[in-house]
């Protein structure tokens, strides 16, 4: 059984054998064997084990004699807006944007397709129709394109920062200002392929925030992303000494999160505003906090 997986952003520029090793969780020698036998390859181009992954590559897995389990479905994923061109879902925590090797949980794309939603064929194999993504551990609004027209236009709007993306985040500590902007470039951290950091060699990143509510040990903020770098909100708030509550990867206090019964970073994509790709009407879609994030807010309010 074959599976197509877009090359993970964190592995772009890595040797092919190293990337396969990390994607499958196998030794490097085993990864070399899989490449040599053709069980793992790059779609539409030849790549040796010592070649490097490029942006836009799609890794093809044809694991002989190994039955790949069918993807579970996100049955509780609500559709909050849909027409002939686009669909906006309220992605639950624990759902990935698209399939990847090593991920065995549900995906937005797979769950929509299983419901019979037509998705454009434009985009990298395995992530067709996706013009922006949310982390597995982040809940909230995510837009997927159904028509070719929508994909081309929404990709342009996201790339040119014309889409308004509002998140709510609960950060540790008491922010010293009621509103501010964090402008700092973000790139991969040397300590890990899957972590990012503020670095002069990174890509420009701009995060605007406003305080919504203050608590004794945390602050609730509304965040407007001007750019859309991987882990941008998490990295930027960590860089100013206020990591997101529950985000141990970026320095949050795990004991505080445990006491609040929070098993992920407190971050939710609350609102999307964009010009409809066909009608050109300015469109706003909104979400609400899921139960686990509401529970945490109730707890911190009680302790205020």
CA 58 centroid distance within chain: 18
In eight-state DSSP terms, residue 67 is P
Number of H helices, E strands in the chain: 7, 14
CB 151 within 8 A of CB 120: yes
Residues involved in catalysis? 135
DSSP 3-state of 210? strand
CB 98 within 8 A of CB 107: yes
Distance, in Å, from the CA atom of 139 to the CA atom of 133, rounded to the nearest integer, reads: 11
Taken as a whole, the chain contains a residue count of: 304
Per DSSP bridges, beta strands 179-183 and 206-214 are: antiparallel
**How deeply is 66 buried, as exposed, middle or buried, from its count of CB atoms within 10 A (0-12, 13-18, 19+)?**
exposed
């Amino acid at each position: 059984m074959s599976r197509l997986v877009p090359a993970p952003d964190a592995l772009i520029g890595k040797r092919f054998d190293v990337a396969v090793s990390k994607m499958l969780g196998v030794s490097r020698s085993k990864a070399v064997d899989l490449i040599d036998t053709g069980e793992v390859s790059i779609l539409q181009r030849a790549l040796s084990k010592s070649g490097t992954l490029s942006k836009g590559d799609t890794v093809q897995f044809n694991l002989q004699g190994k039955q790949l389990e069918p993807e579970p479905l996100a049955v509780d994923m609500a559709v909050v807006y849909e027409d002939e061109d686009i669909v906006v879902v309220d992605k639950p925590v624990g759902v990935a944007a698209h399939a990847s090797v090593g991920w065995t949980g549900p995906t937005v794309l797979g769950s929509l397709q299983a419901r019979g939603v037509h998705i454009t064929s434009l985009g990298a194999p395995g992530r067709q129709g996706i013009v922006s993504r949310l982390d597995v551990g982040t809940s909230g609004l995510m837009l997927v394109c159904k028509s070719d027209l929508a994909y081309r236009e929404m990709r342009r709007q996201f790339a040119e920062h014309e889409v308004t993306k509002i998140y709510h985040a609960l950060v540790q500590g008491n922010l010293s200002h009621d509103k501010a902007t964090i402008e700092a470039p973000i790139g991969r951290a040397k300590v890990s392929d899957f972590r990012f950091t503020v670095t002069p060699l990174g890509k420009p990143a701009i995060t605007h925030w406003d305080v919504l509510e203050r608590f004794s040990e945390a602050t609730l903020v509304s965040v407007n992303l001007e750019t859309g770098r991987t882990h941008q909100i998490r990295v930027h708030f960590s860089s100013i000494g206020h990591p997101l509550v529950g985000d141990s990867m970026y320095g949050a206090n795990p004991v505080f999160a445990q006491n609040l019964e929070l098993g992920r970073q407190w971050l939710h994509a609350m609102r999307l505003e964009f010009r409809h790709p066909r009608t050109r009407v300015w469109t706003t879609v909104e979400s609400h906090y899921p139960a686990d994030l509401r529970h945490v807010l109730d707890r911190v309010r009680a302790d205020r």
